[in-house]
């Protein structure tokens, strides 16, 4: 969590850092701060609240914005409540060193006691202030430069970090380091300027050249010089290839929409095409996925597939379970990464683990991958962010190619993850012979239609808005689905909870009678997925049960449905497709519904309270 943005070069740093922080607010937004250095004085501005609150402070005094070196931070609190003092950047006791930090220093307490015994006094409750003073203490006692001091200090740190450190006595350099949290370094022409950030979005309009340092590495960034990357443990030099960034500015801006979430909902047709482009080849009757092709025999001879993920990605994993078991006839288990990593799971080298993560940085998923690898499993990643920690940690994988997802509530990440899982299931079904050639071809052609069908479905926006207006004041909601659409019910409920703060539960429709039915009365909206091939008659019976208890029914049905229309209070139609692909459609009305309810309730859609886009802490 937390976003870091920094600049060193010939331009004014303030606008670069502030705009960079705004792009990183998806990582946390409970407080923010910026340090500028104008060649004489360090200017520190920080506050509880968003980057826009920080701007109110900096706008009062032009001095606060001056300087060609700057580091900034947008925070998601771990140690210490969100307030002005705990906000980053933090300054060392001498006033010379300044740090921004993303992560947690787990042994901060013992380090702090040691530093207090050496005369250090702390202003904040943060682990970060401990780290900057530790660096200062090392620099003093070892009489070394900043880079060496950072390296030595980090060898005694337990935890996770991405840091950027500035030293007033050496103002032409920045030192960055990472363990468990990402850091990208943008490189300007002839090394005349450098950018540092938690991802490349803050500097995309300035340079397309970047390097991503790895865990346990640090970089010394000096103006006019090539970046020096070193191993933190042994100080060895590391050679990093400079990457050409593919991201465009347009991709990370709202493009005329009011919020990123609604923009990303509307991007789904294109995102899904990008996901299957070059992989799904109906004319050649095949699916090409190098991550699977290169390890095909492992997949074909696996005893079992275990899917690990968190949140929305976990819901996509559940859809994956239905897809893989149905298509490939292989046992699949879906696990919360946070549970899996701590329960000593039984895993063998004949297991394949599929780890799903939009950000590729989720701490629990990353730890679960490391555990699975240590037990001999082959780990396949399904990530959106290229070059992310999870993408690098896995043996092989497939990117979702959804493009940057900025809205905290996942939308296009979910549907593109399901698309990748559908491709994997179809490919393995063909290779394993569990699908006949004609069934395979038929499914390929059906999947190819989905982007257009979503496009068509997005036209229901006005209808969904009307439904949102009716139910926006509900206190509790129930989401029901069966089979492939049970995970969509979970996801629908999660979307509503996240951005509108209305309590909602997702349930398998038939489970309703084992408890939740007690909640139903005339005030309870119940969203039911009743697609024509998805245990339709059984779901209709569930709808009848709700009706006879006066619950309000909002049903998602297949085009042409007549039966549910007679019973439900509201009906939303989705185009006809194979039942296995219906989650790609049924989820769209739920995304729109949560969006409209949140807007009507005047909630912060893109940055809901207490959440962050990538959860890099446990």
User: Cβ distance 283 to 383 under 8 Å?
Assistant: no
Q: Which two tokens stand for residue 539?
A: 């779901």
Respond yes or no on whether the N-terminal peptide bond of residue 419 is cis (omega within 30° of 0).
Answer: no
Q: Which of 362, 394, 500, 587 contacts ligand F6R by CB under 6 A?
A: 362
Q: Which residues of 380-395 are buried (b: 16+ CB within 10 A; e: fewer)?
A: bbbbbbebbbbbebbb
| Cα distance between residue 102 and residue 559, in whole Å | 48
Q: Which of 365, 419, 586, 607 contacts ligand F6R by CB under 6 A?
A: 365
User: Of 38 and 361, which has the nearer Cβ to ligand F6R?
Assistant: 361
Which residues are annotated as catalytic?
Answer: 2, 613
Q: Interacting stretch for ligand F6R, rule CB under 6 A, among 1-9, 47-55, 192-200, 310-318?
A: 310-318
Q: Which residues contact 384 (CB under 8 A, 6 or more apart)?
A: 357, 358, 359, 360, 399, 400, 401, 402, 405, 413, 416
Which of 288, 197, 296, 312 shows the shortest CA–CA distance to 247? Answer: 197
User: Of 358 and 586, which has the nearer Cβ to ligand F6R?
Assistant: 358
Neighbours of 22 (CB within 10 A): 21
Tell the smallest beta-carbon distance from residue 459 to ligand F6R (Å): 24
Binding to ligand F6R in span 489-508, by CB under 6 A: 494, 498
Q: Any idea which residue has 């079992």 for tokens?
A: 304
Binding to ligand F6R in span 14-43, by CB under 6 A: none
Q: How many residues bind ligand F6R (CB under 6 A)?
A: 15
Binding to ligand F6R in span 69-108, by CB under 6 A: none
User: Of 335 and 561, which has the nearer Cβ to ligand F6R?
Assistant: 335
| Cα distance between residue 426 and residue 420, in whole Å | 10
Tell the smallest beta-carbon distance from residue 495 to ligand F6R (Å): 7
User: Of 153 and 413, which has the nearer Cβ to ligand F6R?
Assistant: 413
Q: Under the criterion CB under 6 A, does residue 615 sit at the interface with ligand F6R?
A: yes
Which of 44, 26, 186 shows the shortest CA–CA distance to 102? Answer: 26
User: Cβ distance 590 to 480 under 8 Å?
Assistant: no
CA distance to 138, 495, 547, 567, per residue, from 524 (Å): 61, 18, 11, 16
Position of minimal CB gap to ligand F6R: 311
- What is the torsional sign of CA 403, 197, 122, 215? positive
Which of 524, 523, 517, 568 shows the shortest CA–CA distance to 543? Answer: 568
Q: Which of 406, 409, 528, 555 contacts ligand F6R by CB under 6 A?
A: 409
Which of 499, 550, 551 shows the shortest CA–CA distance to 528? Answer: 551
Q: Under the criterion CB under 6 A, does residue 614 sit at the interface with ligand F6R?
A: yes
Q: Under the criterion CB under 6 A, does residue 311 sit at the interface with ligand F6R?
A: yes
User: Of 146 and 310, which has the nearer Cβ to ligand F6R?
Assistant: 310
Q: Which of 410, 542, 586, 591 contacts ligand F6R by CB under 6 A?
A: 410
Tell the smallest beta-carbon distance from residue 586 to ligand F6R (Å): 17
Q: Interacting stretch for ligand F6R, rule CB under 6 A, among 69-77, 86-94, 202-210, 305-313?
A: 305-313
Q: Under the criterion CB under 6 A, does residue 313 sit at the interface with ligand F6R?
A: yes
Q: Which of 312, 577, 582, 607 contacts ligand F6R by CB under 6 A?
A: 312
Q: Under the criterion CB under 6 A, does residue 359 sit at the interface with ligand F6R?
A: yes
Tell the smallest beta-carbon distance from residue 505 to ligand F6R (Å): 16
Q: Under the criterion CB under 6 A, does residue 310 sit at the interface with ligand F6R?
A: yes
Binding site for ligand F6R (CB under 6 A): 310-313, 357-359, 362, 365, 409-410, 494, 498, 614-615
């Amino acid at each position: 969590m937390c976003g870091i943005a920094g600049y060193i070069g010939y331009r004014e740093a303030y606008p670069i850092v502030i705009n960079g922080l705004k792009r990183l607010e998806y990582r946390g937004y409970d407080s923010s701060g910026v340090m500028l250095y104008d060649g004489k004085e360090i200017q520190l501005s920080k506050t509880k609240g968003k980057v826009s609150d920080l701007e109110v402070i900096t706008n009062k005094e032009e001095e606060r914005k001056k300087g060609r070196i700057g580091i900034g931070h947008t925070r998601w609190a771990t140690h210490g409540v969100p307030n002005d003092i705990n906000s980053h950047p933090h300054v060392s006791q001498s006033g010379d060193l300044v740090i921004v930090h993303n992560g947690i220093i787990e042994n901060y307490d013992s380090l702090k006691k040691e530093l207090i015994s050496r005369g250090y006094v702390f202003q904040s409750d943060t682990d970060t202030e401990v780290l900057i003073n530790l660096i200062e203490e090392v620099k003093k006692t070892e009489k070394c430069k900043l880079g060496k001091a950072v390296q030595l200090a980090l060898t005694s740190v337990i935890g996770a970090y991405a840091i950027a450190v500035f030293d007033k006595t050496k103002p032409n350099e920045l030192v960055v380091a990472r363990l468990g949290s990402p850091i990208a370094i943008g490189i300007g022409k002839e090394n005349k300027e450098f950018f540092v950030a938690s991802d490349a979005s803050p500097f995309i309009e300035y340079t397309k050249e970047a390097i991503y340092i790895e865990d346990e590495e640090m970089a010394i960034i000096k103006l006019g010089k090539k970046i020096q990357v070193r191993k933190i443990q042994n100080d060895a030099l590391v050679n990093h290839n400079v990457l050409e960034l593919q991201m465009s500015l347009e991709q990370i801006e709202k493009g005329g929409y009011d919020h990123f979430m609604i923009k990303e909902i509307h991007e789904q047709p294109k995102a899904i095409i990008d996901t299957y482009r070059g992989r799904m080849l109906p004319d050649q009757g095949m699916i090409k996925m190098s991550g699977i092709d290169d390890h095909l025999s492992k997949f074909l001879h696996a005893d079992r597939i275990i899917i690990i993920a968190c949140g929305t990605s976990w819901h996509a994993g559940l859809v994956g379970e239905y897809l893989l078991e149905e298509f490939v006839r292989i046992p699949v288990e879906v696990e919360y990464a946070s549970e899996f990593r701590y329960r000593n799971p039984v895993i063998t080298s004949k297991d394949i683990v599929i780890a799903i993560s939009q950000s590729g940085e989720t701490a629990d998923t990353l730890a679960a991958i490391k555990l699975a690898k240590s037990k001999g499993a082959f780990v396949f990643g399904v990530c959106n962010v290229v070059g992310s920690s999870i993408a690098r940690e896995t043996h092989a994988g497939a990117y979702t190619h959804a493009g940057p997802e900025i809205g905290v509530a996942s939308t296009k990440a979910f549907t593109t993850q399901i698309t990748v899982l559908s491709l994997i299931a179809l490919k393995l079904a063909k290779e394993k012979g569990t699908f006949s050639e004609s069934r395979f071809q038929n499914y390929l052609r059906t999947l190819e239609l989905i982007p257009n069908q979503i496009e068509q479905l997005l036209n229901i926006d006005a209808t969904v808005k009307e439904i949102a207006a009716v139910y926006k004041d509900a206190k509790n909601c129930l989401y029901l689905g069966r089979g492939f659409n049970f995970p969509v019910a979970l996801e629908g409920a999660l979307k509503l909870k996240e951005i509108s703060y209305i309590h909602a539960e997702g349930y398998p429709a038939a489970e309703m009678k084992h408890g939740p039915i007690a909640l139903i009365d005339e005030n309870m909206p119940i969203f039911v997925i009743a697609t024509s091939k998805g245990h339709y008659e059984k779901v209709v019976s569930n709808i009848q049960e709700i009706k006879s208890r006066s619950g309000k029914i909002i049903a998602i049905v297949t085009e042409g449905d007549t039966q549910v229309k007679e019973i439900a209070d509201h009906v939303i139609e989705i185009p006809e497709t194979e039942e296995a692909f219906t989650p790609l459609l049924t989820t769209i009305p739920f995304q729109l519904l949560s969006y409209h309810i949140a807007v009507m309730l005047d909630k912060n859609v893109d940055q809901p309270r207490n959440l962050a886009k990538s959860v890099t802490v446990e």
